[in-house]
């Protein structure tokens, strides 16, 4: 991958994250292809850009106010073809509070992205979001799920 493409992907994702934290979801959605797939950390699978936008708009006001704490960092960019990249990011959302609770938690996760270059612009074709903490704990004798 050309160094300029890698830098463009990093800049694109920084802008994309800023739009997410400011909850500008219509503009945020323009960074996805029309036929994009997005799998949420809860396992919901949206199969179009518009479904993804609508799903991410449906957030309680109490959560919207917390978005300012969210950050995302690009960990790795790998070339699949000159116009397709595999990107991994790590996100952090400290002091996240679910609606109706007084308890906060520091959430973290990983996102795997397939990005495609279309008409000179890098767009997200597929995204899979996975939480890396706060998941169900397995107790002794119940296995690890592997």
Ordered by where they begin, the domains of the chain are 3-131 (3.10.450.50)
Confidence class of residue 64 from pLDDT cuts 50, 70 and 90? confident
Residue 40: CA count within 13 A, CB half-sphere: 10
Which structure tokens are listed for 115? 């990005």
For residue 135, the model assigns a pLDDT of 58
Confidence class of residue 142 from pLDDT cuts 50, 70 and 90? very low
pLDDT digit string (tens) for 85-127?
999 999 999 988 888 888 888 989 999 999 999 999 999 999 9
Q: Is 31 helix (H, G, I), strand (E, B) or coil?
A: coil
- Is residue 136 scored above 60 in pLDDT? no
For residue 134, the model assigns a pLDDT of 64
Answer with the residue of higher pLDDT: 137 or 112: 112
Whether the Cβ atoms of residue 115 and residue 124 lie closer than 8 Å to each other: yes
Residue 140's alpha-carbon distances to 43, 58, 92, 137, 143, in angstroms, are: 26, 38, 29, 10, 7
């Amino acid at each position: 991958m050309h160094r300029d493409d890698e830098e463009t992907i990093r800049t694109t994702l920084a802008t994309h994250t800023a739009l997410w934290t400011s909850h500008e979801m219509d503009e945020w959605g323009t960074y996805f292809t029309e036929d994009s797939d997005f799998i949420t950390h809860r396992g919901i699978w949206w199969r179009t850009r518009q479904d993804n936008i609508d799903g991410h708009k449906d957030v309680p006001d109490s959560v919207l106010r917390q978005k300012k704490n969210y950050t995302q960092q690009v960990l790795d960019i790998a070339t699949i073809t000159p116009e397709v990249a595999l990107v991994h990011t790590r996100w952090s959302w400290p002091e996240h509070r679910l609606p109706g609770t007084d308890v906060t938690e520091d959430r973290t996760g990983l996102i795997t992205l397939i990005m495609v270059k279309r008409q000179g612009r890098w767009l997200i074709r597929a995204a899979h979001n996975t939480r890396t903490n706060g998941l169900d704990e397995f107790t002794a004798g119940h296995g690890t799920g592997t």
